Amino acid sequence: MFGCLFTLDYEIHGNGDGCPYELMVEPTERLLRLFDQYGAKLTIMADVAEIIKFKEYWQEHNEDVFYFNQIKQQLQQAILSGHDVQLHIHSSYFGSKFSNGSWDQNWLEYSLAELPYDRLFEIIGICKSFLEELIQPVQPDYRCSVFRAANWSMSPSYNIVQALINNGIKIDTSVWKYGKWDKIVQFDYSNAHSDLIPWYIDPNDVCRNSLEGKLLEIPIYCEERSIWHFITRNRLFRLNQASKHKHPASKFGYSAATQSAEKKTKSTVSKLKGLLTKKHAWKLDFNQCTGKQMIKALERIEKKYEHLDCDIPVVSIGHSKLFTAQNSRSLESFLKYVANEQSKYYFATFDEFDTTTFRALSIP
């Protein structure tokens, strides 16, 4: 059977803009209500680095303008209702300051996997303990054991993989096969071990499996698709949001001049040709794909992997800040479909899988 696992990146805009109530608490409340109607389970990947900053601000100014207490209550309540909360870290919030209506982050620590081992070990340890101390008052046996990197940054792999293992993290869920970024954060997951089947990570390369690996990768499901599959209303909404809340590129040493020089090397015509003819990494994103697209993807997965006789997680990704009313209607059709196809699919959280079966499956 296939366990549908919905992971929600819970955070404000990447450049530090935005109100945590509007971008995190309110949409997640709607999402949880929708999921509860169908018995679906949400795994909230909470960016603990920013939540720590929201708490500090409340304690220093005696004013909870970043809604820390509502965030805490929401995460505790989610756990009590059978959902899950796990760890997401945007390291640039460490050392950040709130100024001129936005969090001015420590951009030198933006690219997570490039940080030195000691710093990674320290940051992951602080965030994991914070999350456990936040949840354990309502569920004493709660453990933080699953991780998603900021901007999916798991390459170069060695430092971050060791830092996760040595902090007791068991599962990473950052990789999406075919994914490639070469700007502020760089990675190339084209050769990832699988689009769906979990693997134990070779510490030198998150994309490779190793029978002795100690950290399990449960990838975000991804396919290669033509550009036409990317045209959805919610994707346009995301593009609009991204253009309004741009990163201050100059702070990364990635200047406008560099960008335009790079752009000139390729003509507009050849870029357009590439866009239309090449295939692109299409993540199973429950905010940006339509319900219909998600149902079709699940059917393709079932066809490709039905021969496996163990439960396989199908990880989709979303962002609380992108959950619109239109998205809600479309996602509901997918939840209905999964709820009605009980012989093939079920709603899952990470702790429900027998991870030992994946070691045998990842034998090349």
What is the binding site for Zn ion (CB under 5 A)? 9, 11
CB of 88 to Zn ion, least distance (A): 5
CB-nearer residue toward Zn ion: 11 or 172: 11
* Least distance from Zn ion to the Cβ atom of residue 182, Å: 19
Minimum CB distance to Zn ion, residue 10 (Å): 8
Residue number of the CB closest to Zn ion reads 9
- Kindly report the three-state secondary structure assignment for every residue of the chain: CEEEEEEEEECCCCCCCCCHHHHHHHHHHHHHHHHHHHCCCEEEEEEHHHHHHHHHHHHHHCCCCCCHHHHHHHHHHHHHCCCEEEEEECHHHCCCEEECCEEECCHHHCCHHHCCHHHHHHHHHHHHHHHHHHHCCCCCCCCCCEEEEHHHCCCCCHHHHHHHHCCCCCEECCCCCCCEEECCCEEECCCCCCCCCCEEEECCEEEEECCCCCCEECCECEEEECHHHHCCHHHHHHHHHHHHCCCCHHHHCCCHHHHHHHHHCCCHHHHHHHHHHCCEEEECECCCCCHHHHHHHHHHHHHHHCCCCCCEEEEEEEEHHHCCHHHHHHHHHHHHHHHHCCCCEEECCHHHCCCHHHHHHCCC
Tokens encoding 65: 């303008």
Closer by beta carbon to Zn ion, 11 or else 84: 11
Output 54 or 200, the one with its CB closest to Zn ion.
54
> Which CB sits closer to Zn ion, 11 or 285?
11
Minimum CB separation of residue 127 from Zn ion in Å reads 13
Question: How far apart are CB 34 and Zn ion at their closest, in Å?
Answer: 22
- In the bound state with Zn ion, the residue whose beta carbon lies nearer, of 49 and 298, is 49
Question: Residue 147 or 345: which CB sits closer to Zn ion?
Answer: 147
Nearer to Zn ion, 12 or 201 (CB): 12
Closest contact distance (angstroms) between CB of 4 and Zn ion is: 21
* Minimum gap (Å) between residue 151 Cβ and Zn ion: 7
